[in-house]
Amino acid sequence: MTAQHEDLSADGVLDRAQRIADHLLDVQRRVNEQIDAMQSNLLPEVRRQLGSLDPEPVDLSDLTNTRIVGLDVVVTPEAVATVLPLSAASAATTRAGRRAVTDIVRGADGRLAVIAGPCSIHDPAATLEYAGFLREMRERHGGDLEIVMRTYTEKPRTEVDWKGFAYDPYLDGSNNISVGLIATRMIMGRITAMGVPVAAEPLNALSPQYVDGLVTYNGVGARNVTDQTARERVSGFSAVVGFKNSPEGSIEAAIQAVVAARAPHEFLGVDRHGMTAQLSTTGNETAHVILRGDKNGPNYSATHIADTKAKLSERGLPSVVVVDASHGNSQKNHLRQLDVVHDLSGQIAGGETAIRGVMLESNLVAGRQDLDHQHPGALVYGQSVTDACVDLDMTAAMLDDLAGAARTRRAPVRGKNTATSAAAAPGRDPRP
């Protein structure tokens, strides 16, 4: 089936992902058998060369894997990338997206970055339809906004719940991770081929490898911001990286994460074959703070922005802030995102240059619904199964508001007061 006639329905994408997984898992099992055979032949000789005695039989059944009830082979990043290589269009989208958002973070581009999309994606067809909407928004607002689509297929959980499309793509508790990882790459590949850059939330050391070269922006969530291993991993990411304040509202935790991520690190990771490797990183100079509020209230006001700028300055960090209009800032009411955006637009239009980006939770249909593992086919098309989202009309209105604010903030660049404009909005004017 050609790409032009590919079935983009949920069943079509998952069917193809399953066929790919079947082939790749067969290959991986054969590779593993060869590795086991080679090690069985070579390792005893190593023991002899080291003067080690042959080990006596020891029963370890009550000491190892005592709570593991299953161990399945998973497709490797290298195998998936070989079968599903990046297209030239996808590569161009990611390259341009990273350059644009990096320039915005650095202050070389006076536009505003907007990361918009579903709280989590669970339906490939609805996801691609939403991507088409954002493509139109990018065409409309490209002179003022760099719009990136949320394509979060991993969901952090405070306790226990659905972990995301990458882990349970069939939404029924079957947890076919190989299919989920392959389908995630397929979806991101289609979206970027449309010219829409994507954002993700990396939760572990393995999953980012499966979408390498596809992600423009990575947002480290509130639950992971204090995880030192997460900070180390993103220090080597090629994408732009932001850290949310902690669920309790600690901005200091996010600032500490920024400091750590901007530094070089040596740590234990994995290579594209899924093999353990020591990784050395340069540090990620794009790392910045994301304000998302907390259970006690929002933190997007001008006073909060000023306070965050002061904290960043104390640590010698640039005044770069992205604001999440959802979560604590909307107090879990998706409709309040409009109020947050209106306030932010006023600050931006008033010349606040520290606000470099805004995050929105948006979907085809407003609100949210519960996921029923017994009847996943009964879900409302285009509506979130995690946090509630605003619909397309409200999203378009918020993008209009933000675009106008960004345009106003950059207007002095073409005015008479060049000294003032340089301070308020450094960098080039991306509009023709």
Structural domains of the chain sorted by starting position, each given as residue range(s) with its CATH number in brackets? 77-371+378-411 (3.20.20.70)
Q: How far apart are the first and last CA of the chain?
A: 40
| Whole-number Å distance between alpha carbons of 260 and 79 | 32
pLDDT digits (tens, 9 = 90+) for 257-270: 999 999 999 999 98
Under a CB-based contact definition with an 8 Å cutoff, are residues 291 and 245 in contact?
A: yes
Q: How far is CA 300 from the centre of its chain?
A: 22
**Interhelix angle for 177-193 vs 124-141, to 10°?**
30
| Whole-number Å distance between alpha carbons of 321 and 352 | 11
Listed residue (146, 151, 149) closest to 103, CA to CA: 146
Mean pLDDT of 137-150: 98
Residue 380 has a CB neighbour count (10 Å cut-off) of 13
Q: What is the pLDDT of residue 270?
A: 87
Going by pLDDT thresholds of 50, 70 and 90, the confidence category of residue 8 is low
Q: What is the pLDDT of residue 139?
A: 98
Going by pLDDT thresholds of 50, 70 and 90, the confidence category of residue 55 is confident
Mean pLDDT of 105-118: 98
**Please, is 337 exposed, middle or buried when counting C-beta atoms within 10 Å of its C-beta (0-12, 13-18, 19+)?**
buried
pLDDT digits (tens, 9 = 90+) for 58-67: 999 999 999 9
| Whole-number Å distance between alpha carbons of 219 and 357 | 12
Listed residue (117, 120, 118, 124) closest to 179, CA to CA: 124
Q: What is the pLDDT of residue 161?
A: 86
Percent of the chain with pLDDT over 70: 93
pLDDT digits (tens, 9 = 90+) for 17-45: 999 999 999 999 999 999 999 999 999 99
Decide if pLDDT at 415 tops 60.
no
Mean pLDDT is lowest, of 144-148, 374-378, 423-427, for 423-427
Mean pLDDT of 366-387: 94
Q: How far is CA 355 from the centre of its chain?
A: 20
Decide if pLDDT at 416 tops 50.
no
Decide if pLDDT at 9 tops 80.
no
| Whole-number Å distance between alpha carbons of 387 and 120 | 8
- Residue with the two structure tokens 């050609």: 2
- Pairing assessment for the beta strands 276-280 and 266-270 based on DSSP bridges: antiparallel
* pTM of the predicted model as reported, rounded to 2 decimal places: 0.92
Going by pLDDT thresholds of 50, 70 and 90, the confidence category of residue 419 is very low
Mean pLDDT is lowest, of 201-205, 343-347, 367-371, 418-422, for 418-422
Give Cβ neighbours of residue 28 (< 8 Å, ≥ 6 apart): 73, 74, 75, 76, 79
Give Cβ neighbours of residue 341 (< 8 Å, ≥ 6 apart): 325, 358, 360, 398, 401, 402
Give Cβ neighbours of residue 421 (< 8 Å, ≥ 6 apart): 412, 413, 414, 415
**Interhelix angle for 10-49 vs 177-193, to 10°?**
120
Mean pLDDT of 314-334: 96
